[in-house]
Structure 1
Amino acid sequence: MNVAEVVGTTLAGLGADRVFGVVGSGNFHVTNALVAAGARFVATRHEAGAAVAADAYARVSGRPGIVTVHQGCGLTNAMTGIAEAAKSRTPMIVLAAEATAPRSNFRVDQEALAIAVGATSRRVRGADTAVEDTAGAWQVAVAERRTVVLNLPLEVQAAPALLSAPPTFDRILPDKTDLSEVVELLAEAERPVFIAGRGALHARAELTDLAAECGALLATSAVAKGLFAGDPWSLDVSGGFATPVAAELITAADAVVAWGSSLNMWTTRHGGLISSAATVVQVDLDPDALGAHHRVDLGIVGDVAECARALLSGATRTGYRVPPIRARLAAEGRWRDVPYADDGDDEHIDPRTFTIALDGILPAERVIAVDSGNFMGYPSMFLSVPDHRGFCFTQAFQSIGLGLATALGAALASPGRLPIAACGDGGFLMAIAELETIRRLGLGMLIVVYNDNAYGAEVHHFGPAGHPLDTVVFPETDLAAIARGYGCEAVTVRDPADLAPVRKWSAGPRSVPMVVDAKVSATRPSWWLEEAFRGH
């Protein structure tokens, strides 16, 4: 074998099962080695799509994402997706061919690029260390939940090498944590609330048991939506997406415990959601996360599930779980239960009315991927999900244009579920190349475009101050016609009755994707965007 083949074979042996990328001369051999060793390769149309799809695949499947790119420009094309994954602490390995010749057109400082967006940079140093370097990158990605750019110098890739068993790495566990202060806090709290983030996705049972014991209400950050789906004491999402009743109950809490949640400005409404009188505890594996975004009275370094189990005492307290609260959550706990004045007209449908109608049409077993933009609260909060693996929210970098590729990765990680991509018209058109990938793979995906013919957030941010909006407003585009050109079914929606073709498509066999061009009313910003503007 040569080094490229050793790297690919080693990764497949460690568990790399799905690989996303665009193949060029520099990553041809390592990609083929992965496939020969049993991994399945997905050719996207752009490297950014490959990185985003791998990120989403990792989030939904629980397995590390793998990306393969050409040297130089292949890596730079993928950088937005890599930044999103790195900021989200997604276990992911980017196999990046590397040109080291000083005058190569492809030469860039790939290590600096990785570090600049928060990823970890590693390199395969030579034939003698190929297995060790590859296994080390895997260990960092999996054990530390990091995105790793593994640079593969071209001259090293071609060197003869021997395949050997990868080294084993000891798992480093945090020291036993003293939880006595948390025990005392939960024993005394009258209105405790748990907020679970991405670091708690493995701990639903433990957190549900502990919350029942101490009388806590259950909420999540946006990325962990669905973790407590079906629980009558669930508040759903905390922060800008919170319903009025959820926001009221979180603000009234006297104790808030964040489990694997960063408590960033979105989850806490710029810090204003949590009362200054509440005691705040944060539990996280990463010591640097404690207090990074919000004040913390007590920080605990530890695994969420292990800490929650250790806090179980057997003594049940009522806490926040009283009949009037349960009744309010049953009556007001969903956004669709909150009254609103419909903003639709003859040409446009209110995005709330549209999403509520869509939710009633589609099967419950679904996975929803949401792009960024003014529209994103509507699919996030008005479409229900069966569990936390039914929602994929790539918003750490706040880039638009990630929705299609996110849905691609989520779909491949969720066979049997209906994949739904929720996009704005700007993000959809920005990444439309991956519509061909979705069609080519035969994915029966529903692609919903909230089309206001604009970059809506900018319109609502700058328009009220009288600024000209020519740079962010566009002529009406027939996205349904474009979608048919890609071989998809498509429909334009201006009224709930226009959703009849979606109902028919949803019933099966869903042999091709369906694109819904929803002409949404845009007279006002979404509620979460109004909240964000106030926060600034």
Structure 2
Amino acid sequence: MTEHAAASKNTVPQDARTGAQLLVEALAAHGVDTVFGIPGTHNLDLFAALAASGIRTVNPRHEQGAGFAADGYARLSGRPGVCITTTGPGILNAVTAVAQAYSDSIPLLTISPGLPLAHPSGGNGYLHEVKDQLGALEAVAGAAWRIESLADIPAAVTRAFALLTGGRPRPVHLEIPLDLLPAALPADGPGLAAPVPVLRAPLQPAPQAIRAAAALLQGTQRPVIIAGGGASHAAAQVLELAHLLAAPVLTTANGKGIVPTDDPLFAGAGIHEPALVEYLAQPGAVLVAIGTELAPADMWAGPVPPDTPVIRIDVDPHGLGANATATVPVLADAAVGTTALTAALRTAGAEDGADVGAEAAAGSAPAQPTVQQTTPVESVGLPESAGRLREAIRAQALRTAGEHLPVLEAIDRATAGRAVLAADSNQASYYGALGLLPAHRPRSLLYPSGLGTLGYGLPAGIGAKLAEPEAPVVVLEGDGGIMFTVSELACAAHLGLALPIVVVDNGGYGEIRDEMVARHDPVQAVDLPGVDFVALARAMGCAGEAPEDAAALREGLQRALAADRPTVLHVRW
């Protein structure tokens, strides 16, 4: 029997609460209804407290899968995702998921025990001992700290949620010494504060910054908007500004769906096509970047031209200067800052009698649009140059999509255009789905855009389906990437999720193979022996099909969306 197992048998006074109970109570007070994690010797007190709390516990088959599932839950729901692991190998297995969440600004909270309070600083070979567990998390998370007393637990959780829900979200890690979890504190113990949910007002822009941004846009002939993941909650506001300016809108991967694909002002998802850089380089172009760092991982064709005037609306001070100098920086919440800019443009247009877009010409501000509302291109007055931009970007996307287009069409038709796609880092996703799969709502593409992790799609799809069970969630994987987290098929089957998993098989790591060929290098270590994914799926409790063409894939997807278990659809054409 381990020391911890013996300690956990101590009787807790009826009027006391353990550290584990305090932690779970604090999570519940902040609205947590689901956690993803795997029990281990050092976190059993946490799982006992969770069982008594009413919080749903989901058990993926690997801690990296738990982290990705919590990430997918957070992306679709807009609420923090929570992942609980044990010490040492447990939390280290989740580090990649934490790094991915940091890269894509996802509110992911990881919690793990740490070594006991009195553990020797030089180590003594304790079970799961790591030289510097907290340091490993500090290296990849937005914030990570160790709780040092029972009385600190409620405040630590409040601090974590303040970081997760305010400003630019980054992952947070809490480490709690394993001997604090079973320790008891009287209910009325000194210094024990009740957990307090975080209430935060959106960051307001400086009026002078809004006036400067409006002045820069007045009279411009080539306004263009790029909306990133930081604007996902500001879809209506972005759409209203776009229609006021008659400006084409592009989105990053994480911003896809902010403007519906069928809106006349939508110019493309993904800001990687050369046509965008060429458009921005022309005289008269002004870029409005909302909630995006304009990262090289998004702008494959090159950065914003240095002479292009840029208005940046961002809640993160660092984001105002990353990758492109802001002519007018607006430090503000995306929704609040965009609303203020729209109001300033309308006021300026009314004062000088100028037409600021078709809606301003009507003489009154329209009602707040929803993301479903669109305005016919004739009434918006889309400039001819903007129309050409949209067509050029679509043409470039079609050229790179290649053989993936039938897969995308099957997914779109099977979901009636409402797909929530949990995508992996594979060619069918970044060359195909990113630019060409229609989207009509924010956060409908869950994609590891920054870190580019393999194995993300399947566990992220599980988390998304649990966050919104009625959503038609589809996973899009490659035959190489899915093997990184293929064990989560068993988790999805255990949960009975109606989750289609499309595996596009190109015989290995296709992107790296193509890069080797382009470099004239020997092609090696990229061709993988074939896996019978249908048999593998069935062995793990899922259904499995091998559709022979797009029509069969569409029919298989429709069956999968109504099934009582996950379905793997192995595509080899």
Q: Same fold (TM over 0.5)?
A: yes
Shift of 1:323: 6.0
TM-score by length of 1: 0.88
Partner of residue 381, structure 1: 435
Matched, 1:106 2:128: yes
1:363/1:418 contact within 8 Å kept:
no
Change (3 A) 1:169 1:418: closer
Q: 2:149 aligns with which of 126, 135, 156?
A: 126
Deviation per residue, 1:98-120 (Å, 9 max, x gap)? 12433213122122111111331
Change (3 A) 1:88 1:414: same
Question: How do residues 449-464 of structure 1 correspond to structure 2 at under 5 angstroms?
Answer: 449-464=503-518
Question: How do residues 78-157 of structure 1 correspond to structure 2 at under 5 angstroms?
Answer: 78-100=94-116, 101=119, 102-103=123-124, 104-108=126-130, 109-144=132-167, 145-157=169-181
Task: Determine the C-alpha separation between the residues in 1 that align with 2:200 and 2:397.
Answer: 47
What code does the residue aligned with 2:185 have? Answer: A
Structure 1: which 5+ runs fail to align?
343-349, 521-536
Change (3 A) 1:407 1:335: farther
Shift of 1:233: 0.6
1:6/1:161 contact within 8 Å kept:
no
Task: Determine the C-alpha separation between the residues in 2 that align with 1:260 and 1:355.
Answer: 27
Quick check: 449-458 or 98-107, which moved more?
A: 98-107
Matched, 1:519 2:572: yes
1:197/1:259 contact within 8 Å kept:
yes
Change (3 A) 1:502 1:175: closer
Deviation per residue, 1:143-178 (Å, 9 max, x gap)? 242211100101122221245422576747467342
Task: Determine the C-alpha separation between the residues in 2 that align with 1:362 and 1:5.
Answer: 42
Matched, 1:406 2:471: no
Partner of residue 509, structure 1: 562
Q: 2:54 aligns with which of 3, 14, 38?
A: 38
SS at match of 2:416: coil
Shift of 1:341: 10
Task: Determine the C-alpha separation between the residues in 1 that align with 2:502 and 2:275.
Answer: 28
Q: 2:184 aligns with which of 160, 168, 173?
A: 160
Question: How do residues 199-214 of structure 1 correspond to structure 2 at under 5 angstroms?
Answer: 199-214=230-245
1:233/1:321 contact within 8 Å kept:
no
SS at match of 1:208: helix
Q: 1:352 aligns with which of 384, 394, 405?
A: 405
Q: 2:335 aligns with which of 268, 283, 305?
A: 305
Change (3 A) 1:331 1:469: closer
Partner of residue 61, structure 1: 77
Shift of 1:121: 0.8
Deviation per residue, 1:275-317 (Å, 9 max, x gap)? 4442112111111122222233232211111111212232342
SS at match of 2:174: strand
Shift of 1:392: 1.1
SS at match of 1:209: helix
Partner of residue 317, structure 1: 356
What code does the residue aligned with 2:101 have? Answer: A
Partner of residue 523, structure 1: none
Task: Determine the C-alpha separation between the residues in 1 that align with 2:486 and 2:54.
Answer: 30
2:414/2:558 contact within 8 Å kept:
no
Partner of residue 263, structure 1: 294
Change (3 A) 1:296 1:465: same
Task: Determine the C-alpha separation between the residues in 2 that align with 1:209 and 1:341.
Answer: 31
2:313/2:338 contact within 8 Å kept:
no
Change (3 A) 1:341 1:484: closer
What code does the residue aligned with 2:444 have? Answer: G
Question: How do residues 230-379 of structure 1 correspond to structure 2 at under 5 angstroms?
Answer: 230-240=262-272, 242=273, 249=279, 252=282, 254-272=285-303, 274-311=304-341, 312=343, 313-314=345-346, 315=349, 316-318=355-357, 321-322=381-382, 324=384, 334=394, 338=398, 350-377=403-430, 378-379=432-433
SS at match of 1:67: strand
1:48/1:80 contact within 8 Å kept:
yes
Task: Determine the C-alpha separation between the residues in 2 that align with 1:17 and 1:125.
Answer: 26
TM-score by length of 2: 0.82
What code does the residue aligned with 1:456 have? Answer: G
Task: Determine the C-alpha separation between the residues in 2 that align with 1:31 and 1:262.
Answer: 38
Q: 2:219 aligns with which of 167, 181, 188?
A: 188
Question: How do residues 476-487 of structure 1 correspond to structure 2 at under 5 angstroms?
Answer: 476-487=530-541
What code does the residue aligned with 1:297 have? Answer: T
Shift of 1:331: 6.8
Deviation per residue, 1:421-460 (Å, 9 max, x gap)? 1111111112100011111111111111111111112101
Partner of residue 528, structure 1: none
Deviation per residue, 1:202-250 (Å, 9 max, x gap)? 111122222222222111111110110132111122422x4x7666655
2:19/2:150 contact within 8 Å kept:
yes
- Aligned residue pair count: 509
2:545/2:568 contact within 8 Å kept:
yes
SS at match of 2:179: helix
Matched, 1:15 2:36: no
Shift of 1:371: 0.5
1:192/1:217 contact within 8 Å kept:
yes
SS at match of 1:223: coil
Change (3 A) 1:106 1:335: farther
1:451/1:517 contact within 8 Å kept:
yes
2:112/2:175 contact within 8 Å kept:
yes
SS at match of 2:507: coil
Structure 2: which 5+ runs fail to align?
1-16, 188-192, 350-354, 359-379
Deviation per residue, 1:347-390 (Å, 9 max, x gap)? xxx22233324433333332101101333222333322231132
Change (3 A) 1:383 1:329: same
Task: Determine the C-alpha separation between the residues in 2 that align with 1:91 and 1:185.
Answer: 34
SS at match of 2:41: coil
